[in-house]
Amino acid sequence: MEKDKIPQDDGALNKLTREVGYAVDNSGKYTTELSTGWEVKKEALGLAWNDIEKRISDAKKKVVNKEASPLYFFMEWRLMDIPIVASYTGFWQWTVKRHMKYDVFQKLSDKKLQKYADAFSVTVEDIKTMHVN
């Protein structure tokens, strides 16, 4: 691709970052050029974010229906999985899974909830009420 043909389409991340693309300069040598994004990538990211938003919405419904604890919602909201939450909190993975059960969550101490709050960068009260900024 020639240097002047590097895509510069507005993307989801163009205000935050740029990506490096490789192009051929006037002398025929490969060089790097910054790109703000391209349409295909924008669409792919849009589909991925739609999927993430659906997962968050589904998690919220499960918590409201008492099928899961608020930890499940925050895990989806912060794009984390059980191994990541376990590593941030110091709990065993099986313990995190157990805490994701609504009835078990209701009995957790504020000290344990604080570990989760720190991992999700929220307050204990936010976890209890599922409040997000």
Interval 68-85: pLDDT, tens: 999 999 999 999 999 999
Average pLDDT, the chain: 87
Counting Cβ atoms within 10 Å, is residue 39 exposed (0-12), middle (13-18) or buried (19+)? exposed
pTM for this predicted structure: 0.73
Mean pLDDT of 47-65: 95
Question: What gap in Å lies between CA 91 and CA 112, rounded to an integer?
Answer: 9
For residue 34, the model assigns a pLDDT of 74
| CATH code linked to domain 52-129 | 1.10.260
Q: What are phi and psi of 22, to 5 degrees?
A: -100, 140
Give tens-digit pLDDT for 84-122.
999 999 999 999 999 999 999 999 999 999 999 999 999
Domain boundaries, the chain: 3-37, 52-129
Question: What gap in Å lies between CA 26 and CA 123, rounded to an integer?
Answer: 56
